[in-house]
């Protein structure tokens, strides 16, 4: 993985390391709050793990020829043109800016 997507994953990973989970847990008084907090931390760890593994890899390129054989070239060309006109980098950059903002916020 390279470019903006890698930066998003790196910033999200750093943000997760900066959370003072133990400090926040000490502030909880009731058992119900501790249980909810434990669930929140588990959910955060699962999402962070997915960011580090599944979403940190480059997607496989689309085999347009395979689809041309089964669907037909006109329809596939239409989809290919629409796909190539999307701006994935701008979406990734928007997430990067958001995570940079979160990275600057200190909790605790």
Model confidence at 108: pLDDT above 50: no
Evaluate if pTM is beyond 0.75: no
Give the pLDDT band of residue 74 (cuts 50, 70, 90).
very high
CB 11 within 8 A of CB 96: yes
Residues of the chain above pLDDT 70, percent: 62
**Residue 80: its pLDDT value, please?**
92
| pLDDT tens-digit readout, 48-73 | 888 777 766 777 889 999 999 998 89
How many helices (H) and strands (E) the chain has is answered by 6, 0
Task: Residue 48: name the closest of 81, 11, 83, 77 by CA.
Answer: 11
The residues spanned by each domain of the chain are 4-104
């Amino acid at each position: 993985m390279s470019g903006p997507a890698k930066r998003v994953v790196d910033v999200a990973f750093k943000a997760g390391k900066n959370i003072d989970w133990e400090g926040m847990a000490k502030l909880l008084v009731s058992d119900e709050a501790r249980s909810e907090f434990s669930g929140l931390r588990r959910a955060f760890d699962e999402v962070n793990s997915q960011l580090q593994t599944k979403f940190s890899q480059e997607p496989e390129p689309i085999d347009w020829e395979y689809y041309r054989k089964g669907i037909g070239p006109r329809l596939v060309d239409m989809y290919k043109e629409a796909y190539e006109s999307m701006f994935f980098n701008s979406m990734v950059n928007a997430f990067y800016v958001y995570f940079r903002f979160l990275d600057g916020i200190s909790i605790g």
